[in-house]
Structure formats: structure tokens, C-alpha cells
Structure 1
Amino acid sequence: MKYIEYGKEELDYLIKKDKVLGDYIKKTGFIKRELNSDIFTSLISSIISQQVSTKAAKTINERLNNIVINLTPKKILELDDSLLQSIGISFRKVSYMKDIAKNFIDKPYIYNNLNNLPDHLIVEELIKLKGVGTWTAEMLLIHSFNRRDVISFLDLGIKRGIMRLYNKDSISKEDWIYFKNLYAPYNTIASIYLWEASK
């Protein structure tokens, strides 16, 4: 299993940059967060996870992995829609998954080269896919592309973590910009700790 790469350099930087987050990092210690560098399977998992609980998403992903070993775009297209629906995937999500699979087969020159693009262009490409919004694309930047400087304004866990650590009742766009600038260039590592603080 792979994990998001970071270490002492990034943590020391954040500890020095911000006392509140720094104290939380020192109290919490090192956090491992899984990394899945397979963009296609990450997208499929993200579609499955939309609007369902973490537990339900895990169960459905396990069922899918029991049906298909080594998930590929070709295998998704070969699966019968009713079979996918029978394991808990809605009709709409099945259509999203098939559309993503078709795009990966039809346009390999785009998806095989995403990692060569800067963050904002990766997001631009991914949100062209049906069912993929900005938040999903930003989560892939972190958990698949291992990008170092990502913090999502659309993520409720991030907002909750900031509110708890900094005793705020809400987070405005201006607040988020402030924290984004504060944590740069290691927003991803800050995000990992903000998620932990949100629990």
C-alpha cells in the first residue's frame, strides 16, 4: 500500500508557520493517508462514494472488486448495467462509470499524460467527465497525483477542521484564501491534519 509522501521538512515548515496547526501536528504525530496512483480506479471509487456513507461506499467498492479483479475501463464497459445496480450502484452512477471508462479508452493521450499537467489543468480535464466535479478532481490531486499544495474549499471536513482548531463558527471564502496562503506550499499536508482535527 502506498501513502501520500511527506515528512519532517513539511511538518517543520507548518509548525514554524502557524502555532495553532503546529501545536496540533506536534500533539497528533505523523498521519498516514493512502495514495492510489491509478487514476481510473480512483475515479470509479469517487463516483461510488458520492452521496453515500463511508461505510456504504466501502461495501460497494468491495463488492465491485469481488466481481472484477484488476479493474480496467474495458472491464467496466463489459459489465452489465443491471449487475452493477445489483451491488448498490445507482443507474446514474453506472452511466457515469461507463462514460468515464469510454473516455479513458477513446482518449488515452489525455488521461495517460495528466500527471504532466499543472494542478489547475488536471482539474479542468477531469471535470469534463460526467459525474466529476471540482471537489472530486481536487481529491484526486491529493490522493492519486500526490500533489503537495491542495486544499479544497468545497470539502466539509477541511472547513470543520479549521473551525475546530481556530474556534470559528463558519469559514468564508476570504478565510479559506487566508489559510491557503498561510499553509502554502504544503496545503496538502495541512489538509491531512485538518481532516484529522474534524473527526
Structure 2
Amino acid sequence: MFFEYGEKEIACLKSKDKTLGAAIDAIGHIERTVDTDLFSSIIRHIIGQQISAAAQKTIWERITRKIGAITADAVNGLSVDEIQQFGTTFRKAAYIKDFARKIESGKFAPDDMRGKSDSEIVARLSAVKGIGVWTAEMILIFCLQRPDIFSYTDLAIHRGLRMLYRHETIDKQKFEQYRLAFSPHCTVASLYIWAVAGRALGGMKEYAPKKKPVSGA
């Protein structure tokens, strides 16, 4: 299953920003996989923090080969040491186990998230060990398919914006200008900006702050 968007979102973004519109035309439709099960999505994102997509995929495949569907019951049947042996860190394994216990005890009810606002979900998820604002925002996109998410803490978004708009830096004010311009379809804009950051368009370079000359010897 892929993140759902179509001509309505594309037409709106192209009407608001010609630069992004040109990138959209050049890249074409983007298919990004989503996981609509909130528990497994959260576990996947905890695993994927600060590691490559390939490493995340490998660990995920090891876990699913062992326990099948990623459910709270299945995870609670594993010890922290067993989870770590799939290739994740001890800290992440402890976070995963802690979250599964919260589900089992009823302290966290995934279904309660679906009717809440984006900010409420971020606050609720950020209170869980191992989940920060960035992870919560990725869950909003790749699980709940919320349409208007633009993550200031996402480094690839910053890189893509610098490449597409030829900025050396993206401060909070400039980021907010783009967020307002892309709203209410920031998530679709994010898909294309991530693609730009991943070199989907040839000939684009990354603009970064110029290094100050070192004085002295």
C-alpha cells in the first residue's frame, strides 16, 4: 500500500510554487509504502532511527521471520536480549519491549490516535520512550497518512530545500514560509523534496554554508 495522493494535491502545489512544480513534473508520481498498523509502524520507526534503510530492512526481516506479524503479544513473547539479537541496540530493544508492555497493559491504545489532531498525536507519541518528534511525524505520514506534515527536524527535508531553492541554510523562519506555501499538502511536498535530496533530479548540487577561512599559521 502506498501513500495516497493524486491530481488534486499536485495541481494545488504546482499552482503555489513553480519551482516545486517543475520538480514534480520531472520526477513523476512517487510511490512510498505505508504501514497502516500503528503498533508495527511504531516498532519499525524505532528500529530505523539513525540507521540506513537497508539496515532497517534487514532487522525487520529477521524479526518477521522469527515471530511473523509484529503484534504486541508477539513482541511480549521475546526478551530484550532476544530483540537485540536481531541487530538493534540494547536501548532500542528496551524501548520496543516497553512499548509492547504499554499496549498489553492498556496504558497506550493505538486506536485512540486516529481521531486526534496532528499535534495531539505528536505529543502523545513523544511521551513514549524511544519516540521523539521526528519519529512521531514519520508515523503521521507513513502510518496515519496525514496530508499536511512538514518536518523541521528532518535533515533530508533541509537538504532537499537547499538543493531545490539554492539556499545555503534553512532557518526556522524560511522553513515556515515553505510550510505555509505548501499547506494543506505538505506531506506530498515532502515526498518530492525527499526525492530531490536523494538525487532524483540530475545536475542539482547541495548548497551548504561556506566555511569561514581559518586565521593563523
**TM over 0.5, shorter chain:** yes
Aligned mates of 1:166, 1:109 — CA distance in 2: 41
Displacement of 1:108: 6.6
The residue type paired with residue 34 of structure 2 is L
TM-score, with structure 2 as normaliser: 0.88
Displacement of 1:30: 0.7
Counterpart residue number, 1:10:
9
Counterpart residue number, 2:103:
104
Aligned mates of 2:99, 2:79 — CA distance in 1: 16
What are the equivalent positions in structure 2 for 1:126-145 lying under 5 Å apart? 126-145=125-144
Q: What SS class does the counterpart of residue 142 from structure 1 fall into? A: helix
Greater displacement, 18-27 / 101-110: 101-110
CA pair 146-101 structure 1, distance change in 2 beyond 3 A: same
Q: What SS class does the counterpart of residue 145 from structure 1 fall into? A: coil
Q: What SS class does the counterpart of residue 192 from structure 1 fall into? A: helix
Q: What SS class does the counterpart of residue 162 from structure 1 fall into? A: helix
Counterpart residue number, 1:34:
33
Q: What SS class does the counterpart of residue 3 from structure 1 fall into? A: coil
Aligned mates of 2:176, 2:48 — CA distance in 1: 27
Gaps of 5+ in 1: none
Aligned mates of 2:108, 2:177 — CA distance in 1: 37
Aligned mates of 2:57, 2:184 — CA distance in 1: 32
Counterpart residue number, 2:191:
192
- 1:80 correspondence with 2:84: no
Superposed CA RMSD in Å reads 1.1
Displacement of 1:77: 1.2
Aligned mates of 1:106, 1:112 — CA distance in 2: 14
Displacement of 1:110: 3.4
Aligned mates of 2:108, 2:60 — CA distance in 1: 27
The residue type paired with residue 56 of structure 1 is A
The residue type paired with residue 165 of structure 1 is L
What are the equivalent positions in structure 2 for 1:41-120 lying under 5 Å apart? 41-107=40-106, 110-120=109-119
CA pair 97-170 structure 1, distance change in 2 beyond 3 A: same
The residue type paired with residue 10 of structure 2 is L
Question: Which structure has the larger Rg over C-alpha atoms?
Answer: 2
Aligned mates of 2:61, 2:138 — CA distance in 1: 20
Aligned mates of 2:80, 2:16 — CA distance in 1: 51
Structure with the higher helix share, 1 or 2? 1
Task: State the aligned residue count.
Answer: 198
What are the equivalent positions in structure 2 for 1:148-163 lying under 5 Å apart? 148-163=147-162
Displacement of 1:81: 2.4
Counterpart residue number, 1:165:
164
Gaps of 5+ in 2: 199-217
State whether residues 81 and 93 of structure 2, in contact with CA within 8 Å, keep that contact through their aligned partners in structure 1.
no
The residue type paired with residue 103 of structure 1 is K
The residue type paired with residue 61 of structure 2 is E
Kindly provide the CA deviation profile for residues 156-197 of structure 1, in whole angstroms up to 9, marking residues without a partner as x: 111111000000111100011000000000000000000000
Greater displacement, 85-94 / 143-152: 85-94
Aligned mates of 2:75, 2:141 — CA distance in 1: 24
The residue type paired with residue 129 of structure 1 is V
State whether residues 102 and 108 of structure 2, in contact with CA within 8 Å, keep that contact through their aligned partners in structure 1.
no
